[in-house]
Amino acid sequence: MARVIGILTAGGDSPGLNAAIRGVGKAGMNAYGMHIIGFRDGFRGLMENRTIRLDSGALSGILTVGGTILGTSRDKPHKMPIGGREMDMTEAMVDNYEKHHLDALVCLGGGGTQKNAYQLAKQGLNIVTLPKTIDNDVAMTDVTFGFDTALTIATEAIDRLHSTAHSHHRIIVVEVMGHNTGWLALGAGIAGGADVILVPEIPYDVEKVADAILRRSRAGKRFSIVAVSEGAMSREVAKALRTAAEACANAKDKAQKKKARDKLHAIESERLGSTSQLTQQLEALTGLESRVTILGHVQRGGIPSPADRLLASRLGTACADLVHRGVFGVMVAVRGEGTEPVPLEEVVGKRKTVPLDHPWIETARNLGVSLGDQ
Give the strand pairing for 330-335 and 338-343.
Answer: antiparallel
pLDDT band at 164 (very low <50, low <70, confident <90, very high): confident
pLDDT band at 1 (very low <50, low <70, confident <90, very high): low
Query: How far is residue 43's CA from residue 114's CA, in Å, rounded to a whole number?
Result: 12
Residues 284 and 318 in one domain: no
Residues 173 and 294 in one domain: yes
- Return the SS3 of 82: strand
Catalytic residue among 135, 137, 195, 308: 135
Query: How high is the pLDDT of residue 48?
Result: 96
What average pLDDT does this structure show over 241-251?
82
| Secondary-structure breakdown of the chain: helix, strand, coil percentages, each rounded to the nearest 5 | 45, 20, 35
For 163-306, list the strands marked E by DSSP: 171-176, 196-198, 224-229, 290-294
pTM: 0.94
Q: What is the pLDDT of residues 223-244, one digit of tens each?
A: 999 999 999 999 998 888 888 8
The answer to whether position 362 is within a domain reads no
Least Cα distance to 356 among 182, 180, 122, 234 occurs for 182
Query: How high is the pLDDT of residue 84?
Result: 86
The answer to whether position 271 is within a domain reads yes
Query: How far is residue 15's CA from residue 146's CA, in Å, rounded to a whole number?
Result: 5
Last residue of a domain, one of 266, 282, 300: 300
Domain of 26, in residue numbers = 4-145+304-346
Helices and strands (H, E) in the chain, number of each type: 13, 13
Last residue of a domain, one of 245, 266, 300: 300
The answer to whether position 228 is within a domain reads yes
Counting beta carbons within 10 angstroms of the beta carbon of residue 322, is it exposed (0 to 12), middle (13 to 18) or buried (19 or more)? middle
What average pLDDT does this structure show over 105-112?
97
Query: How high is the pLDDT of residue 266?
Result: 82
Residues 132 and 9 in one domain: yes
The answer to whether position 366 is within a domain reads no
Residues 178 and 248 in one domain: yes
pLDDT exceeds 80 at position 150: yes
Residues 258 and 232 in one domain: yes
Active site residue 135: yes
Query: How high is the pLDDT of residue 252?
Result: 79
Q: What is the pLDDT of residues 6-28, one digit of tens each?
A: 999 999 999 999 999 999 999 99
What average pLDDT does this structure show over 331-342?
97
> What's the one-letter identity of residue 229?
S
Asked if residue 370 lies in contact with residue 208, where contact means CB atoms within 8 angstroms, the answer is: yes
Which CATH number characterizes residue 156's domain? 3.40.50.460
pLDDT exceeds 90 at position 31: yes
Residues 328 and 248 in one domain: no
Query: How high is the pLDDT of residue 346?
Result: 97
pLDDT band at 143 (very low <50, low <70, confident <90, very high): very high
Query: How high is the pLDDT of residue 35?
Result: 97
Residues 18 and 141 in one domain: yes
Residues 167 and 67 in one domain: no
The answer to whether position 290 is within a domain reads yes
Q: How many CB atoms lie within 10 A of CB 198?
A: 32
Residues 188 and 235 in one domain: yes
Pairwise pLDDT comparison (142 vs 374), residue with the higher score: 142
Torsions phi, psi for 96 (to 5 deg):
-70, -35
Share of the chain above pLDDT 90, in %: 84
Q: What is the pLDDT of residues 116-129, one digit of tens each?
A: 999 999 999 999 99
Q: What is the pLDDT of residues 261-307, one digit of tens each?
A: 888 888 777 777 789 999 999 999 999 999 999 999 899 989 999 99
The answer to whether position 116 is within a domain reads yes
pLDDT exceeds 80 at position 66: yes
Residues 155 and 67 in one domain: no
The answer to whether position 354 is within a domain reads no
The answer to whether position 163 is within a domain reads yes
Query: How high is the pLDDT of residue 270?
Result: 74
Tally of structural domains, the chain:
2
> What's the one-letter identity of residue 86?
E
Residues 204 and 118 in one domain: no
Residues 125 and 163 in one domain: no
198, 199, 202, 208 alpha-carbon torsion, rounded to 10°: 10
Q: What is the mean pLDDT of the chain?
A: 94
Which CATH number characterizes residue 329's domain? 3.40.50.450
Share of the chain above pLDDT 70, in %: 100
For the chain, list the strands marked E by DSSP: 4-9, 35-39, 51-53, 80-82, 85-87, 104-109, 127-131, 171-176, 196-198, 224-229, 290-294, 330-335, 338-343
What average pLDDT does this structure show over 348-373?
97
